[in-house]
Amino acid sequence: MEQGIDLVQRKMIVGIPYIDSNTDGYVEFPLAANFFTGLHALEHLYEAEDDMPEVEDIEIEFMNYGGDLMLSLAIYDRLMRSTVPITMHVYGPCQSGGSLILQAATKRYISRNTAMMLHYGFTGDEGTSDPRRLQEAVRHHNDLMDTLVRIYLSRCNRTRLTEKRLRDDIMRIESYFDAETCVRLGLADEIIEPTVKFRKRKQK
């Protein structure tokens, strides 16, 4: 497995240190690069194999503490552009930009002990003192926040998670959700349950 990409199993392992050795679990340029290169390699593999079943997915195992908002949106857009269905399995942290990236997957699975966090986050425009730059920064920030809300609402259960609740109650603070709440709100599709059954050793 090279940089977390398994060509045989059609799988990517992203954001997990020591496997994806270029990242430390945050959305930064190395993690974005691994997403882009990994997707390109696996998509090309599908296109090159005419006998590959059309229903096969690219599987991504993922954990993430969030990070750069613009890079999170770039990864989201790249996943949405994929010509192959994406199945994402999330383990552990799925926070901020990580929860945003998850919404691009065709199928969204999260482990029972996953902690998902949503908030408005930071755009990197803070700190300017020039009034004109400050006004433009506020406009840019508001546009990005509208984009986040639109993305979450595109996948969530609108009867349980309204736009008003998302904007006023959830995104304004760091709101954490367990796996069952994520599925109920439509932020994920299904909880990953243990499936491996260990065989008992035969006694000599």
pTM (2 decimals)? 0.85
CATH code of the domain containing 178: 3.90.226.10
**Mapped to the 3 state alphabet, what secondary structure does 154-196 carry?**
HHCCCCCCCHHHHHHHHCCCCEEECHHHHHHHCCCCEEECCCC
The domain tally of the chain equals 1
For the stretch 69-84, pLDDT in tens is 999 999 999 999 998 9
Is 130 inside a domain boundary? yes
For the stretch 81-139, pLDDT in tens is 998 999 999 999 999 999 999 999 999 999 999 999 999 876 555 555 677 887 888 88
Give the three-state DSSP class for 137: helix
Is 99 inside a domain boundary? yes
Q: Which domain holds residue 100?
A: 5-192
Is 62 inside a domain boundary? yes
Is 199 inside a domain boundary? no
Is 141 inside a domain boundary? yes
> What is the bridge-based pairing of β-strands 115-118 and 86-95?
parallel
Is 167 inside a domain boundary? yes
